[in-house]
Amino acid sequence: MGKAARVITIFLSSVVMSGMTLWASLALYYSNLPGLALRSAAACFFTITTLVCFLFLPRRGWTFPGFLVVFLLIVTWWITIPASNNRDWQDDVAVLPYATIQDNLVTIHNIRNLNYRTETDFDVHYYNKTFDLNTLDSVDFSAVYWMGDAIAHIIISFGFQEADYIAFSIETRKEKGEGYSAIKGFFKQYELIYIAGDERDLIRVRTDYRNPQEDVYLYRTKVTRERAQKLFMEYVRQINTMKEKPVWYNTLTTNCTTNIVMHVKTFSDRIRYNWKVFLSGYMPLYAYELGALDTRLPFKELRERSYINPKARLIGNDPEFSRKIREGLPLSGR
């Protein structure tokens, strides 16, 4: 091996080893070990020991195999950390939805509709509602922006005849006093929750009550009834599964966009995981490119016409919020 190749090999190996060390240290720090002191000590001990072994041990031929064994043990242990449905949850995510099914009738239990005074001050209200699959005639999605164009939260809404709507928002299920961190989201710090909600809750909390407010775009899709029914039942199966078997959230792989793609892929091979999925703010553009939105309009115009914040604030807590919010949107009334 030439000198240049050796230098490149050493450099690449160092980068990989550093990444593995960083991941394992963070996994220890954000683990289920009891107490911050123990978790900090474990992370520091692993990092310092790794550095000492690679930099100062005379027989380095044994260092990498030893490191790899310890790293794999940490990975194996970390994988076994279980998610839970029994924690001291924040009030807005304390209740899990579930569904009961009888022929074509699906009853969603615990549909959330919080009555907000501020984002953190609200009255808790849930209700049950039965939907007839034979009347399911639309699938829409909201893209919610709060930190630029690259990142958005995606909410899927299903519309039934007689202007009945239900929305599903895939979110982190946070405990009381817990905030969100993208870094923590990589390390089993949040369970996942599928909130079955009234759009007066899931949309208006973002347009009316968050400070600063978030920008919401509501896109109407061209999904057929057959595919709409399949997607709806995917959500139904998921909420029933998660009521019995909790799931971890992951910032990159298990979130509000990747899980939507996972559900769609069960009945369609057109959608793919790509950068527009992981940079979720571009999901509307991706849906447009797939022909799922109104392609009669340039995407820029479609996006402008799909912005609903002023309309949502004007409509307020009207019982017909979902119907009125769609008036004038592209493809409305199809």
**Span 163-187, pLDDT tens digits:** 799 999 999 999 999 999 999 999 9
What's the pLDDT at 265?
87
Identify the pLDDT of residue 1: 57
Neighbour count for residue 228 (Cβ, 10 Å) = 19
8 Å CB contact between 33 and 25: no
pLDDT at 196: 98
Give the integer Cα–Cα distance in Å for 274 and 253: 12
Give the Cα separation of 160 and 158 in Å (integer): 7
Residues of the chain whose pLDDT is less than 50? 333-334
Give the pLDDT confidence of 203-214 residue by residue, as tens digits. 999 999 999 999
Measured between alpha carbons, how far is 113 from 317 in angstroms, rounded to an integer? 10
3-class secondary structure, 123: strand
Distance from C-alpha of 271 to C-alpha of 17, rounded to nearest angstrom: 35
Q: Do residues 26 and 44 make contact, with C-beta atoms less than 8 angstroms apart? A: no
pLDDT for 11: 79
Domain range list for the chain = 3-79, 91-325
* pLDDT at 272 (0 to 100): 84
| Burial class for 79, CB neighbours closer than 10 Å (0-12, 13-18, 19+) | exposed
In sequence order, the 6+-apart residues with CB closer than 8 A to the CB of 256 are: 153, 154, 155, 169, 170, 171, 280
Look at the pTM and tell me if it is higher than 0.85: yes
